[in-house]
Amino acid sequence: MSGRIKRIGVLTSGGDNPGLNACIRAVVRTSISRGAEIFGIRRGFDGLIKGDMDAMDSRSVSNIIRRGGTILSTARCPEFFTEEGRLKALKVLRENEIDGIVVIGGNGSLMGAFELHKLGFPVIGVPGTIDNDVNGTDISIGVDTALNTIIEAIDKIKDTASSHNRTFLIETMGRSSGYLALSSGIAGGAEMVLIPEVETSFDEIVDTVRNSYKKGKSHCIIVVAEGWKPGTKELAEKINEIGKEYEFSVRVTQLGHVQRGGDASAFDRILATKLGAAAAEALISGKSGEIVGILGSDITFTPLEEAISYEKQIDKKLYALAEIMAK
Ligand code: F6P
């Protein structure tokens, strides 16, 4: 262990996702194995500002590897985005003799992590968000489990859609990212995917629906990302109008927060364990201001400043593939 980092803090921030607990467990057990003390900070940056934290040991993370949610709780904390809030947090960290922290969360949380790093405080970020919109990693913790949840829903909806000859609009999460919609659309065999990154007109959508029935399909499944504009409700109204002509009706299923919960998949447990362990190791070896991720099959580190500086792009080839598969 380096001379500097003797006591580590860990927090989860922003929207929760399955795999956070596996990551906390990895941070805790790696820190302990390297002779560092570890403190769990509750409710993200909000708990940090209020000094809400406790020492953790190996037993405090027993039997949590599979569990969704986060044993540390999480929050979105606007106060941390003020200078006053950040200085309060820094004071708390100093008072509690914490030498460095691991921040697990999505883009907003990683921006917070970068702010702490800018104040000279050692911090390593770990990408945890079902949206998969964090740069510096191919995949974030929670994405795989969320995708499996969505696909299970699509499969079930297809059964009822085919029985009634219906068109279904299935809305996934993803405020500004279409990753979940696109990936689940491919895996679920959807007729169409609508995502914020790709402009699609009502006419194109209506044509796709019409053609599905003309081709003899017994249903039309459209996976819509939450952030797609003008939105699922307006689309349902438009499609209903042509439904009369082709004798089908439209139903909307908004999957919502069910996508954020549940036991973590094997993939997420392993990913979270690798990233959590690497984050603790990195902090102890003196790294700061970086995000740990997985690029290809390698565990990598990317400066937080770079990771948060641009929007992650959707894979256009994957989008084209979804269109071909829907024929
Ligand atoms: O960022 C993750 C996410 O699940 C988004 O996909 C979604 O738009 C948002 O969080 C919902 O946030 P909340 O749980 O605060 O309503």
pLDDT at 3: 56
Domain end (from 244, 260, 276): 260
pLDDT at 136 over 80: yes
- The predicted model gives 121-140 an average pLDDT of 98
Residue nearest to atom 12 of ligand 1 (CA): 15
β-bridge pairing 100-105 and 123-127: parallel
Over residues 80-119, the pLDDT tens digits come to 999 999 999 999 999 999 999 999 999 999 999 999 999 9
Q: How far is the CA of 129 from the centre of ligand 1 (A)?
A: 9
313 lies in some domain: no
Do 167 and 137 fall into the same domain? no
Q: Specify the residue for token string 């949840």.
A: 149
Over residues 191-231, the pLDDT tens digits come to 999 999 999 999 999 999 999 999 999 999 999 999 999 99
Do 28 and 114 fall into the same domain? yes
Q: How far is the CA of 75 from the centre of ligand 1 (A)?
A: 11
pLDDT at 47: 98
Q: What is the number of structural domains in the chain?
A: 2
Ligand 1 lining (C-beta closer than 6 Å): 15, 106, 129-131, 173-175, 226, 260
Domain end (from 203, 236, 260): 260
323 lies in some domain: no
Do 120 and 222 fall into the same domain? no
Kindly list the catalytic residues. 131
316 lies in some domain: no
Do 286 and 224 fall into the same domain? no
Task: Print the domain residue range for 239.
Answer: 145-260
Domain end (from 260, 289, 318): 260
pLDDT at 167: 96
Q: What is the DSSP string of 119-134?
A: TT--EEEEEB-TT---
Which residues, including other chains, have CB under 8 Å from residue 222's CB and lie 6 or more apart?
167, 168, 169, 170, 190, 191, 192, 193, 194, 205, 208, 209, 235
60 lies in some domain: yes
CATH number of the domain bearing residue 236? 3.40.50.460
pLDDT at 2: 47
- The predicted model gives 121-149 an average pLDDT of 98
Share the mean pLDDT of the chain: 96
| Atom number of ligand 1 nearest to Cα 108 | 1
Q: Which amino acid is at 1?
A: M
Do 150 and 274 fall into the same domain? no
Return the closest-CA partner of residue 96 out of 34, 54, 128.
54
pLDDT at 1: 42
Do 168 and 210 fall into the same domain? yes
Do 217 and 228 fall into the same domain? yes
Do 298 and 242 fall into the same domain? no
295 lies in some domain: yes
pLDDT at 245: 79
Distances (CA, A) of 231 to 4, 16, 223: 51, 24, 12
Over residues 277-309, the pLDDT tens digits come to 999 999 999 999 999 999 999 999 999 999 999
Do 232 and 272 fall into the same domain? no
Q: How far is the CA of 173 from the centre of ligand 1 (A)?
A: 7
Do 135 and 17 fall into the same domain? yes
Do 34 and 84 fall into the same domain? yes
Over residues 220-276, the pLDDT tens digits come to 999 999 999 999 999 999 898 887 777 889 999 999 999 999 999 999 999 999 999
Over residues 32-60, the pLDDT tens digits come to 999 999 999 999 999 999 999 999 999 99
Element (H, E) at 32: helix 20-33
Do 273 and 135 fall into the same domain? yes
